[in-house]
Structure 1
């Protein structure tokens, strides 16, 4: 890309105290097969060595480094969107990785499908060391409705999607008292900002959500954060529902209870991953009290979650950890 060639796409990398992982993230982005793009690292007030790790990458003319006072993930994304120079904008958290073809495939998808505002793909979950956890996010790829987004969030995670700037422009709003700054993600949410964004886009615009085949994101799941703050996460989700309910009261009346059940079942799996069987059982009980839909709509996942919760409660450890240990144990 020469100085006078506008980038086809922009990739925003929100970064907060990610000195141990951002080098690997940036290398993966530099190795994208689509080369005519820009990388915007938004340092959200890091207090570690993040800036020092990024410094050697500044020789790449495609990369821009922007430092700001801490505004949270939503605020870092908003800064990146405002600074981006292209019509397609992707996001890769600074502890996640992209496969080499990811950006090219999403740009082609959006270029070929003018009604699609959000393009996403499946993800492989990895641990702190970058090793696959044996778990994948394999979302529904087509026919996505607002109800799908509320209940199952097919987009999956914050590094799985690339979207069209025109879709962002349709939901931009001016932040009160913020020097006329436009917001896209709601900075009042420090959790659940993704689902608030997707739902607001789905309920207030006509843009389609659609996925591409394959698992093109490596999504890092930190062991220490698997079960932490699940009640806070639930409270944040409830705040999203309360904020957006006035947009379409009939929609929420029809789908809110089932969506709450799915959310609670998800938190049960988070608790299992964190070896907290008691919390997992509690979340499941609350889930099926809210709605039985997950039991008949996704019986296999509901049953496996229940069995994993009981196993964890009895033995104090996630069964997937046991299976992983058995797979890697040397045979004598």
Structure 2
């Protein structure tokens, strides 16, 4: 995208702005320094590929952290720090008549932004934004880009295809991103000479001016990548040959541009910081020569509605139950994510556990079944109330601060319908701090794994559960911060599990996240005691692994909430008792915990980096 004025993207440390006579000199110095410090960049047209998928504004480190696509990933250097510069550097004055350019980005049609005419460059330029612009979002979402790219592949079988998605660049279209103030793109209005109605003030200026928090901006930015990647996965599955996923540039989100005493925001042109020019290059090889036929559920219904809605309501009913307790803002986002599902039919139930009908204003006028407890009874009691009222064949329990990807229910219904022995389908989850995805082996009967408090990423919100299986575990037991762990064990006693590899839940939460409280570790100890007969029937290593996890959790959460606590090193020492293969990190943890939470975090980070370096 366009970079913006440099003075609106740079903030000196301790100052609002540089004096005018210093400002220009700093910009020149930064441009020259980073020009010298970084590579010139790679021309993607010089490399071998059949399809090139450009994710606008996607920096390498973020992609590496959130990517779930299979393939060979490496970092590469872009020739540009903004889309106009990229288009000019790569395509101006050249001819690629063997290539079709499919784009959601209207920037190449705006003369004041881009000085390159792409029409004579390519065999065909397909402007998806002309017909698929979403005026509410202020951009083109990924769905029509997937359709247009598939159609281009079919129409031009002998050509290379470039598909230019807008995401993860703002405007932010995820549930959280849409809830925060940030500008939209005015590209279509400018490209078509229409009156401008959108606020084009980008979030990067607000971030630079302190009107938006870095944490909120990073969450919205990563959420945009989380949003687009499952669509990219579906598209890649339909594309033959070699597909490369890359980007035209990255973004700075307030990082200090060492050695200069400044923070930078967005992607001002000409300042080639590593965050701006280091982009992903993911190579995916697909052997198929034709797109796969559309999969259907066991009942013959398509797992996703067709564009014209002809398959709507043909599948089994899914009930989404959201328990809520004094979190109306988060609840609104969770509800929006349910309403954005590509799957239908869905019924939505909100169980208000506030005791004072605090959530009623959020659901009034909506097609939502609202159930209010007369007094606060706890999260699992609220879930039980919702499950008992639900009418669906499958049940999604959604925490009120989590959000579903639009494809979540469709993917998981398809999985459950394909195998009657599977009663639980789960997936990965993303958050502003990273990604957790299921282990490939986490399928089938997983009782032993659940007794060790696994499997990874299998949390309440990531699961879609057969209602008949859930009926056997009601009422759900109250466990302080460990609700999902007890539920997993009970489910694993009754049914098999399977999973979707993508992260289809974006996890919210903050300081009040129940799973991060010190009491959670003690709840894990109670669970080990409660299910003692199950542990007795199995290898002693199962119980030892569970006890190690419980004491480690006590130590970590005590530090997280207490700053310094004698409980932490004592708990880590207890965890060592149950560790058969002690690493240096395990042995050092009790001593490092004496430094408090800050010292522990620093030491843990350094140790992790050292281990990663040794593995390379």
Pair in the same fold by TM > 0.5: yes
Q: Is structure 2 residue 468 aligned with structure 1 residue 139?
A: no
Aligned equivalents of 1:7, 1:201: Cα separation in 2: 21
Q: Which residue does the alignment assign to 2:476?
A: 185
- State the TM-score, normalizing by the size of structure 2: 0.42
CA distance in 1, matches of 2:409, 2:575: 37
Which one scores higher on RCO, CA 8 angstroms, separation ≥ 6? Answer: 1
- Return the offset for 1:317: 7.3
**Which residue does the alignment assign to 2:407?**
101
CA RMSD of aligned residues (A): 3.4
- Indicate the larger mover: 252-261 or 89-98: 252-261
Q: In the alignment, which residue of structure 1 is the partner of 2:529?
A: 242
Query: Does 2:151 match 1:151?
Result: no
What pairs with 1:83-232 in structure 2 (closer than 5 Å)? 83-125=389-431, 132-133=432-433, 135-140=434-439, 141-143=442-444, 145-154=446-455, 155-169=457-471, 171-172=472-473, 183-187=474-478, 189-203=479-493, 205=494, 207-225=495-513, 229-230=517-518, 232=519
Post-superposition shift, 1:137? Answer: 1.9
Distance 1:184 1:34, change over 3 A: same
Q: Which has the larger radius of gyration?
A: 2
Equivalent positions of 1:288-299 (< 5 A) are 288-292=576-580, 295=582
**TM-score in terms of structure 1 length:** 0.75
Deviation at 1:16, TM superposition (A): 1.0
How far residue 19 of structure 1 moved from its aligned partner, in angstroms, is 1.7
Cα displacement (A) at 1:251: 2.7
Q: Report the count of equivalent residues.
A: 290
Aligned: 1:67 with 2:369: no
Q: Shift in Å at residue 267 of structure 1?
A: 4.1
Mapping for residues 248-267 of structure 1, pairs under 5 Å: 249-251=536-538, 253-267=540-554
**Alpha-carbon contact 2:416-2:422 (below 8 Å) kept:** yes
**Alignment partners' CA distance in 2, 1:210 and 1:21:** 29
Secondary structure at 1:198's aligned position in 2? helix
* 258-267 vs 276-285, greater mean Cα deviation: 276-285
Distance in 1 (CA, whole Å) between partners of 2:483 and 2:587 is 28
**Offset from partner CA, 1:21-65 (integer Å, 9 cap, x none):** 11111111111111311111011134474222232xx432xx211
Once residues 317 and 256 of structure 1 are traced to their aligned partners in structure 2, the CA distance between those partners, rounded to angstroms, is 27
Partner of 2:214: none
Partners of 2:477 and 2:569 lie apart in 1 by 32
- Flag the structure with higher helix content: 1
Secondary structure at 2:386 match in 1: helix
Structure 2 CA distance for aligned equivalents of residues 310 and 186 of structure 1? 33
CA contact (8 A) 2:429 2:506 kept: yes
Residue 274 (structure 1) shift: 4.6
Q: CA deviation at 1:272?
A: 5.3
Matched, 1:31 2:322: no
* Aligned pair partner of 1:9 in 305, 318, 322: 318
Give the whole-Å Cα distance in 2 for the aligned partners of 1:252 and 1:223: 37
Contact 1:122–1:217 (Cα < 8 Å) also in 2? yes
1:42/1:66 contact within 8 Å kept: yes
Q: 1:120–1:211: 8 Å Cα contact kept in structure 2?
A: yes
Unaligned runs of 5+ in 1: 126-131, 173-182, 324-332
Unpaired runs of at least 5, structure 2: 1-308, 607-616
Asked if structure 2 preserves the Cα contact closer than 8 Å seen for 1:118 and 1:162, the reply is: yes
Counterpart in the other structure of 1:178: none
